[in-house]
Chains A and B, each alone.
Chain A
């Protein structure tokens, strides 16, 4: 076979940068030969990559070689917008495109900056959010969506992670954990959560004997590596979790007493109205001192012993410790009850509960860096599996309570915030990630990498204190009512007009939408809703790599630069899914272009700076001031709000601000990144911060009461009882379908080869997907298939009880619950411009109903599970 011909090589370079195919943004190295990118490898100097990188990243190299990329700005010449309708694109100059866009933005800015809609998080995962948020801030825009512009992201998961771990998400300290329960979370296997870092650390953990218990309808990625795979009916995990809590608290009567009493609100006294009994003067919740037999505020230093059981008289009011109420509450969730709902055998629920508390080694300690910590080598983790259901909040909250009862939160071996506490680079003390305690109720205040300074603030993830529902509404996403949610369905739900009419702001449509790279028509639920929403937008422009399906509704499409053609100063801080976990060294790597953009492609941040400049000096000043604010730029790094910047210049200031004057853009181009040792108190901070986590979600009750007060008089009825202070099981809509012909539930899952909706465009990833038995198929349990007379490879329809249906080829597999249909997302492109991705896989989301009755009333998470029937396509009439 051919040997390499080295004479061809005239120039051979390696660039240190960060991947952009998913939001993990793993540090990578890219080789170019003669200026052509030819190879992607992991960054060996980063504790997060350890020199390795997943298949998606390797295969994404073709993003810079793809002849189907958009290379010039285009505008539509066909005014008719719709699915499959050719916009009849016409190439235009950047000047024309930017003048048109800047004129629109200027008009909106002068009239009412709220009336703009921004959808962030591109399908190719290439993060660069600060310029987007600068636009939000400059406009005063109140309509922004992340999560690929959709709502299948982590509304409940991020909310609860902020309240329980002070962070954006969570994972496990897999370097020490011995028993890990996954509730529908493929972290370490297919998910982008820390991607390569978690793949390595979970493999290391398995190799040293960590057990993985996986509750999942499908035995695929994480299920396929499980010590015990537990197939489960979607949406019933919360019943199993509550049954586990019942077994642990009432049968085994085991819990971490120190953690429960000092790190949770378990001792807080709850009154007959289900709210805290508070000290009238300070508003601090009362607890009962069991020694002095009197009520004291929770933080009273004189408390000798917190009572967590019993009932007490507090100034004539009967008060019960939250823990007592929790134990009573979960008694109704017997393993038998949970088993009937979930199909998980009773003995499995009992065994896993017992193993979980046994493996937690409650009472044990470990010494790290000379300091003694509680050692709790057991954890439960989740993400989409619990998050994407109508009972999302109750499910996610209940799951975190498993970690609370064993005290396995931000201590060695347990469940960890992701990212965690950071004291900053050793030479500058920046960037910082700081969690803290609320002095009134003791709840945890989430941290974030970006700063709060005198020049403004941009706190991305403020969960506590909760902004309680208020009016008047300013957002079409109804975010004055649901202030705690990340993404709202009410921008495009089927009932959005009714919701806006009854609850919305004093405008009913945004005057313009801006999209950054995401393909929200495919990620936002059924096409009927999406088409109806998108075709009504008066002016819609987007940045994209390709003319994807969303561009069928756009007026102008701007050719974005891919992650291999862009600079991003703080790539490793953007998402909250990529910080080093546990005691892994801090690793901060930036993103730099490895080649010049082809054609007229320009990176979105530079274009937004250009647009802001064109809108006018006042607008531009606000835009740049936002950068100063949320990066917390100080001293020489402060950006001049009257100077026209490139994003490379902005990045230079950001890097110098974080890492010192000598470590600007040029230094990073040469060196790629910085690493420094993590301190134990950064990783395992739980007992250093006087904050508590809720075993009793009293404020959720208040949230529901306030929301109900606003909504009910306006004729909006929702399942308000889901705002429960004690997480409970509520059936999802699919559980309520009684017609026997709809006998299967649906699952959309993350394939290891795919993420977002752009990976199908890469020829190498696509070719390998064709060799995988699951990626591009409708997966059905083989016994179920046989019973229905369906064969491997057969084309079938999957149809919901509401008449929505999708079509695709079947793969009959063993590792799937018999009551399930499973499809990997997001596949099934139809744009003619996507020469490789078009027609690959099955488009799932068209099955989903998006309206107030199909989303979680607490978190507004959409439900990805519906009840369906399947039948051969040939029988179609």
Chain B
């Protein structure tokens, strides 16, 4: 069985936001919605300050709270662990967004938001709306670039190894902070990194069994 997962090396990440922006470009993510974000925090007191940079995205939890609460079955988990939202079933009730302990879901409210407010949609935005016809009133989130993963596998590529089959946030990272792969492969790169770096998911105590791990700095 395959379960897709990611390891993010916080020692490498420099907070350049390339993951945030590449993700938005890959999916023509509507204005006001983010599948990837970067949180910045500080700890300590000058001069012993530690700056924390935390890139976050959907954790594609094994025990996903969003899946459990969805009243229509719109949120579901594929066999490979990717948590998806079927916008044909989603009624936009927002239970999933409330239930997600990682705040990784956004109800898509306003399709009229423009890149250049008041100046109309550019041909780029119009193309994006055709390519990714997001429905207002439904919930959006990271899908682990399942289009790249699925197409890649169909073409004989290996997600995590071949860039065409690997999520956009991973291949764009200048610091090479992200590694994507099969958590169920004990000899795979993500398993090795989790073991060697003692990587942990965010808030393991929630019991959601996230698929995104972070090394300790």
Q: How far is the CB of B31 from chain A (nearest CB, A)?
A: 7
Bound complex: CA A771 to CA B132 (Å): 25
Is the Cβ of A229 less than 8 Å from the Cβ of B174? Answer: no
Contact with B along A770-796 (1 / 0, CB 8 A): 011110000001010000000000000
Is the Cβ of B135 less than 8 Å from the Cβ of A36? Answer: no
Interface segment, A86-94, A141-149, A201-209?
A201-209
Contact with B along A226-244 (1 / 0, CB 8 A): 0001110000000000000
Interface presence of A199 (CB below 8 A): yes
Measured CB to CB, the nearest residue on chain A to B134 is A2
Which of B15, B17, B117, B173 sits near A52, CB closer than 8 Å?
Answer: B173
Interface presence of A105 (CB below 8 A): no
Interface presence of B205 (CB below 8 A): no
Interface segment, A469-477, A543-551, A635-643, A810-818?
A810-818
Is the Cβ of B131 less than 8 Å from the Cβ of A229? Answer: no
Interface presence of A160 (CB below 8 A): no
Is the Cβ of B46 less than 8 Å from the Cβ of A42? Answer: no
Task: Chain B residues near A773: list those with CB within 8 A.
Answer: 40
Measured CB to CB, the nearest residue on chain B to A345 is B47
Interface segment, B65-73, B137-145, B181-189?
B137-145
Interface presence of A3 (CB below 8 A): yes
Which of B20, B25, B139 sits near A38, CB closer than 8 Å?
Answer: B25
Contacts A52-B171, A67-B116, A763-B116 given: A200-B176 contact, CB under 8 Å? yes
Bound complex: CA A220 to CA B161 (Å): 32
Interface presence of B53 (CB below 8 A): yes
Which of B20, B138, B173 sits near A768, CB closer than 8 Å?
Answer: B20
Interface presence of B18 (CB below 8 A): yes
Bound complex: CA A66 to CA B42 (Å): 36
Measured CB to CB, the nearest residue on chain B to A773 is B40
Is the Cβ of A207 less than 8 Å from the Cβ of B11? Answer: yes
Contacts A55-B17, A68-B116 given: A781-B174 contact, CB under 8 Å? no
Contacts A8-B131, A38-B127 given: A53-B14 contact, CB under 8 Å? no
Tally chain A residues at the interface, Cβ within 8 Å. Answer: 75
Interface presence of A753 (CB below 8 A): yes
Is the Cβ of A817 less than 8 Å from the Cβ of B174? Answer: no
Bound complex: CA A38 to CA B128 (Å): 9
Interface presence of A621 (CB below 8 A): no
Interface segment, B118-126, B152-160, B206-214?
B118-126
Interface presence of B147 (CB below 8 A): yes
Is the Cβ of B18 less than 8 Å from the Cβ of A223? Answer: no
Interface presence of B163 (CB below 8 A): yes
Task: Chain B residues near A38: list those with CB within 8 A.
Answer: 25, 28, 124, 127-128
Task: Chain A residues near B140: list those with CB within 8 A.
Answer: 1
CB interface residues, A 44-87, toward B, < 8 Å: 44, 50-59, 61-62, 65-68
Which of B13, B26, B37, B115 sits near A62, CB closer than 8 Å?
Answer: B115
Bound complex: CA A158 to CA B131 (Å): 48
Task: Chain B residues near A220: list those with CB within 8 A.
Answer: 51
Which of B115, B123, B130 sits near A763, CB closer than 8 Å?
Answer: B115
Is the Cβ of B176 less than 8 Å from the Cβ of A752? Answer: no
Interface presence of A487 (CB below 8 A): no
Task: Chain B residues near A815: list those with CB within 8 A.
Answer: 42, 46, 49, 51
Which of A41, A61, A223 sits near B171, CB closer than 8 Å?
Answer: A41
> Looking at chain B, what size class is its interface with the partner chain?
35 or more
Task: Chain B residues near A204: list those with CB within 8 A.
Answer: 176
Which of B14, B51, B133 sits near A219, CB closer than 8 Å?
Answer: B51
Bound complex: CA A700 to CA B8 (Å): 49
Measured CB to CB, the nearest residue on chain A to B174 is A199
Task: Chain A residues near B98: list those with CB within 8 A.
Answer: none
Interface presence of B16 (CB below 8 A): yes
Q: How far is the CB of B57 from chain A (nearest CB, A)?
A: 14
Contacts A1-B139, A2-B87, A816-B46 given: A223-B51 contact, CB under 8 Å? yes
Which of A8, A225, A814 sits near B49, CB closer than 8 Å?
Answer: A814
Q: How far is the CB of B155 from chain A (nearest CB, A)?
A: 14
Task: Chain B residues near A195: list those with CB within 8 A.
Answer: 174
Is the Cβ of B174 less than 8 Å from the Cβ of A764? Answer: no
Is the Cβ of A1 less than 8 Å from the Cβ of B141? Answer: yes
Measured CB to CB, the nearest residue on chain A to B12 is A203
Contacts A203-B177, A814-B42 given: A51-B17 contact, CB under 8 Å? no
Bound complex: CA A502 to CA B192 (Å): 70
Bound complex: CA A55 to CA B139 (Å): 26
Interface presence of B175 (CB below 8 A): yes
Contacts A65-B122, A204-B176 given: A4-B132 contact, CB under 8 Å? yes
Residue picked from B117, B124, B140, B163, most chain A C-beta under 10 Å: B124
CB interface residues, B 25-63, toward A, < 8 Å: 25-26, 28, 31, 37-38, 40, 42-47, 49, 51, 53
Task: Chain A residues near B16: list those with CB within 8 A.
Answer: 54-56, 190, 199, 752-753
Interface presence of B199 (CB below 8 A): no
Task: Chain A residues near B28: list those with CB within 8 A.
Answer: 38
Which of A33, A56, A223, A781 sits near B127, CB closer than 8 Å?
Answer: A33
Bound complex: CA A672 to CA B87 (Å): 40
Q: How far is the CB of A598 from chain B (nearest CB, A)?
A: 10
Q: How far is the CB of B150 from chain A (nearest CB, A)?
A: 10
Is the Cβ of A52 less than 8 Å from the Cβ of B47? Answer: no
Is the Cβ of A8 less than 8 Å from the Cβ of B127? Answer: yes
Interface presence of A37 (CB below 8 A): yes
Which of A3, A9, A752 sits near B17, CB closer than 8 Å?
Answer: A752
Contacts A1-B141, A65-B124, A66-B116 given: A224-B15 contact, CB under 8 Å? yes
Bound complex: CA A871 to CA B174 (Å): 40
Is the Cβ of A33 less than 8 Å from the Cβ of B46? Answer: no
Bound complex: CA A189 to CA B13 (Å): 9
Bound complex: CA A4 to CA B46 (Å): 48
Bound complex: CA A200 to CA B124 (Å): 30
Contact with B along A359-374 (1 / 0, CB 8 A): 0000000000000000
Contacts A1-B87, A2-B132, A835-B116 given: A65-B123 contact, CB under 8 Å? yes
Is the Cβ of B116 less than 8 Å from the Cβ of A36? Answer: no
Interface presence of A252 (CB below 8 A): no
Which of B11, B43, B116 sits near A836, CB closer than 8 Å?
Answer: B116
Is the Cβ of B147 less than 8 Å from the Cβ of A203? Answer: no
Measured CB to CB, the nearest residue on chain B to A764 is B21
Which of B24, B143, B175 sits near A1, CB closer than 8 Å?
Answer: B143
Is the Cβ of A65 less than 8 Å from the Cβ of B18? Answer: no
List 11 A-B pairs, Cβ < 8 Å: A42-B174, A53-B22, A59-B17, A65-B123, A199-B174, A225-B14, A229-B49, A763-B31, A768-B20, A768-B21, A817-B46
Other contacts beyond A2-B87, A204-B176, A815-B51: 14, CB < 8 A: A3-B132, A9-B131, A38-B25, A53-B172, A53-B174, A54-B18, A55-B18, A65-B122, A199-B174, A219-B49, A752-B15, A764-B24, A768-B21, A783-B46
Q: Give A residues with C-beta under 8 Å from B.
A: 1-5, 8-9, 33-34, 36-42, 44, 50-59, 61-62, 65-68, 188-190, 195-196, 199-200, 202-204, 206-207, 219-221, 223-225, 229-231, 752-753, 763-765, 767-768, 771-774, 781, 783, 813-818, 835-836
> Which 7 A-B pairs rank lowest in CB-CB distance, beginning with the nearest?
A224-B51, A55-B17, A203-B175, A199-B174, A203-B12, A58-B21, A814-B42
